[in-house]
Structure formats: structure tokens, C-alpha cells
Amino acid sequence: MAGTDYHCPHCGAELRGDMRTGGSRPGGTPGCPYDGLAFASLRAGHDAIYFGPWRRIDALPTEITRGYHRIGRHLDAIGRELAIHDLPAAVRDLNDAIRAHRAADPREEAPGGLLLMDNALSYAHRAIDDLLHEKGLPPHQPMDFAECYDVVEVPFRDEW
């Protein structure tokens, strides 16, 4: 049923909308929309942050802090994956993401902190795309999964 919250059984991300869009499993458990995709957990992790409440114009400070920490955990996950691959371009993108993330620390009230967080997530996305490219796969398109999240539009998309 549309508008129902559920957690992705693959990655644990909180998803909203029609649980049938990802298929369903026995017992009515919704299927993961990322099932069968290369680096599914990295894609799902990225999108859960990308469509997260910290990106709203009216985001509360706690949502921004939560988003900051989620980005940090996501960068760690990408780093673990890159440790088993020899992809210098992806490592560069990850290092750029880490630098932007560190500079965005909301406890420091860094000027442009939200933009730096958005930049960190963009560099993380590039690292995921580098992994996909290495396998000969097309880049990840978060908007292909937008219907799985409770979003009308992507905040900040045209403003930065």
C-alpha cells in the first residue's frame, strides 16, 4: 500500500512508498529494490542519505548531524570495498569525499557545511560509479530509486 514505511531487507534503509515496487517475498515482506545489483548495499546506503531529511531547506540541526554521521559511515563502507580493489581513481574520489566530510563537521559550525556534506556525498557517488565502471556497468542513478523514498524532489539540486 502506498505511503507505508518499511525497512529494506537487504540494507536496512528506511524506505517509503509502495512496497511492491521492489517485489515482495513470502509472508508479504517487501523485496529490496537494489536486489541483484552490483554493490547494492553501497547504492542503497548512498540513496538513503541522498534522499535524507538533512537535505531539506528546513532541516533541523539534529537531522544535519545525523546526516553527517551517516555520510561518515557510508564513506567507511566504501573504503572497506575499495580495500579489495585496485582502483586509484575511486580512491582519489573517496579521499576527496573524506576531506569534504571532515571540513563539514557540524560541531565546528563550518561555513558552507551543508554544501561540503553534499560534496562529500557526490564524491562518494563517484567512487561507487568507479566501482561500477570497473565491472563494465552503467553508473548508479539515484533518481531511478526515488519512488522508494518519501521525496517530492531532491533538495538543493538546483540551488548549488
Q: Which residue has the higher pLDDT, 94 or 110?
A: 94
Is residue 71 domain-resident? yes
Does the residue 118 lie in any domain?
Answer: yes
What pLDDT is recorded for position 20? 42
For 104, counting Cβ atoms within 10 Å of its Cβ (0-12 exposed, 13-18 middle, 19+ buried), the class is buried
Q: Does residue 97 lie in a domain region?
A: yes
CB 96 within 8 A of CB 136: no
Q: How far apart are CA 112 and CA 125, in angstroms?
A: 20
Q: Do the domain assignments include residue 85?
A: yes
pTM confidence score: 0.78
Which structural domain range is residue 49 located in? 38-146
Which residues have a Cβ under 8 Å from the Cβ of 30 and sit 6 or more positions away? 6, 8, 9, 15, 19, 20, 22, 23, 24
Instruction: Determine, yes or no, domain membership for 123.
Output: yes
With bands split at pLDDT 50, 70 and 90, how would you rate the model's confidence at 159? very low
Residue type, 129: D
| Domain presence at residue 1 | no
Count of structural domains within the chain:
1
Residue 27 belongs to a domain: no
| Structural domain contains residue 152 | no
Asked if the model's pLDDT at residue 156 lies above 60, the reply is no
What b/e sequence results for 127-146 when a residue is b if at least 16 CB atoms lie within 10 Å of its CB, and e otherwise?
bbbbbbeeeeeeebebeebb
